[in-house]
Copies of this chain bind each other. A is one copy, B any other.
Amino acid sequence: MIKEIKKLGYQPHIMRGVERTVIGAIGDERKNHTLETLVAWPQVERVMPVQKRYKLVSREGHKANSRIKIGKDIVIGGEEFVVMAGPCSVESEKQLMTTAVAVKAAGAKLLRGGAFKPRTSPYEFQGLGEKGLKLLAKARKETGLAVITELLSQDHAEMVAEYADILQIGARNAQNFQLLIAAAKTGRPVLLKRGLSMKVEEWLLAGEYILANNNPNLLFCERGIRTFETYTRNTLDLSTVPIIKQESHCPIVIDPSQGCGRADLVVAMCKGAVAMGADSLLIEVHPNPAEAWSDGAQQVNLEIFGQLMKELKPFAQAAGRTMA
């Protein structure tokens, strides 16, 4: 084994116990051949890496919080607590404008809205496409809100980047590395949702694909993981707020709408996220959730959203954040 470890470029170090011998291998797995394969030797029981596999997203090498500048005067990751809100899907000019005006009035800084929708079934509404992007751009012009929308296909990267201030990568594409690279290369800030069953380490490594492709403007977004629980659609893992803060310098955004899949839980989840130190919220808002073309169950109406924004303020203040 000693010979094999040296051959792969590491310096071996032996510790003998009574039942097992542990061999330390000193070297950088990001530069050398991985040692994991040594488990294929019959005398090897386990290979346990001690090195962190991510580097550019890590706080170890970048102590200060990254502040992501969006448009002219929005900063995510700074003192201000920023809210992004809007419908799950862009459905019509009227629906989008009504929502945009209302969320702006309530204090949101970015407008969300899906133009390209990843749908579990081919028979479901797939989004308005570029027409939806144009409506988002129009809403931006009229309200001054910045725009965040999902990028679904590498082929659309340039087009979506033209209309959007932040490119959103959805949970189902969180390890679609070709899409991550295409998004990074547009130069736009990228909001990377956590995959449905993505470990924190894998999420950080997916983020590493953005920074390694020369785009420093990355936001992590927790949106619920898949568990055995069926009361909620997903289990929103709020522990990611302190975890991302600890492991990375990039901002952390919470999506309570996808996170629970139930509008009746959104208000409480938002309060928790703010209190725990999240930098931003991504909230689904619809003028009439019962008639939404997608995910009506998880969208709050305009009135609840307005009320929520008021209720969040004392928590933002207690967390040392300002809020418009």
Query: Which residues of chain B are within 8 angstroms of A294 by Cβ–Cβ distance?
Result: 34
- The A15-40 residues at the B interface (CB cut-off 8 A) are 15-20, 22, 24, 26-30, 33-34, 36-40
Tell me whether A275 is interfacial, beta carbon within 8 Å.
yes
Report the bound CA distance from A319 to B314 in whole Å: 9
Q: Which residues in B have their C-beta under 8 angstroms from that of A123? A: 29-30, 53, 208, 212
Q: Please measure, in the bound complex, the distance between the C-alpha atom of A39 and the C-alpha atom of B176, giving whole angstroms.
A: 32
A212 touches B289 (CB 8 A): no
CA distance A27 to B17 in the complex (A): 7
A15 vs B196: C-alpha distance when bound (angstroms): 37
Report Cα–Cα, A318/B268, bound state, in Å. Answer: 13
How many angstroms between the C-alpha atoms of A162 and B212 in the bound complex?
31
Q: Which residue of B lies closest to A19 (CB)?
A: B51
A residues 76-132 near B (Cβ < 8 Å) are 118-124
Contact digits for A306-324, partner B, Cβ 8 Å, 1 yes 0 no: 0000000011011100000
Interface flag for A9 (CB, 8 Å): no
CB atoms of B246 and A264 under 8 A apart: yes
> Would B37 and A296 count as touching, CB distance under 8 A?
yes
Q: Bound complex: CA of A2 vs CA of B48, how far in Å?
A: 22
> A273 interface residue, CB < 8 Å from B?
yes
State whether A4 and B235 are in contact (beta carbons under 8 Å apart), knowing that A20-B51, A123-B30, A177-B119 are contacts in the complex. no
Which B residue's beta carbon lies closest to that of A247? B231
| Contact across chains for A238 and B24 when beta carbons are under 8 A apart | no
Q: Which residue of B40, B121, B242 contacts A54 across the interface (Cβ within 8 Å)?
A: B121
Interface residues of A (CB under 8 A from B): 4, 13, 15-20, 22, 24, 26-30, 33-34, 36-41, 46-48, 50-51, 53-54, 60, 118-124, 152-155, 172-173, 175-179, 195-197, 199-202, 205-206, 208-209, 212-213, 225-232, 235-239, 241-243, 246, 259-260, 263-265, 267-269, 271-277, 289-297, 299, 314-315, 317-319
18 A–B contacts from the bound complex (CB under 8 Å):
A13-B15, A19-B51, A19-B60, A36-B296, A37-B296, A53-B123, A120-B206, A152-B178, A153-B178, A154-B154, A155-B178, A196-B196, A227-B235, A232-B243, A239-B269, A271-B276, A271-B277, A317-B318
